[in-house]
Amino acid sequence: MRRPDSIWLPLSLPYIVREPVDGQWGLESDAGNWTGIVGTLQREDADLSLDLTITPKRPQVIQFTKTYIDESVVLLSSKPRPLPEYLSLIRPFEC
Q: Per-residue pLDDT averaged across 5-24, rounded?
A: 80
- For the segment 23-36, the average pLDDT, to the nearest whole number, is 92
For the chain, domain boundaries = 1-69
- Say how many Å lie between the first and final Cα of the chain, rounded: 30
Evaluate if residue 20 carries a pLDDT over 80: yes
What is the enclosing helix (H) or strand (E) of 61? none
pTM, entire model: 0.62
Q: Report pLDDT digits (tens) over 50-64.
A: 878 889 999 999 999
* Fold of the CATH domain 1-69: D-Maltodextrin-Binding Protein; domain 2 (3.40.190)
Q: Dihedral through CA 37, CA 39, CA 40, CA 44, nearest 10?
A: 140
* Cα torsion angle, 47, 34, 18, 50, sign: negative
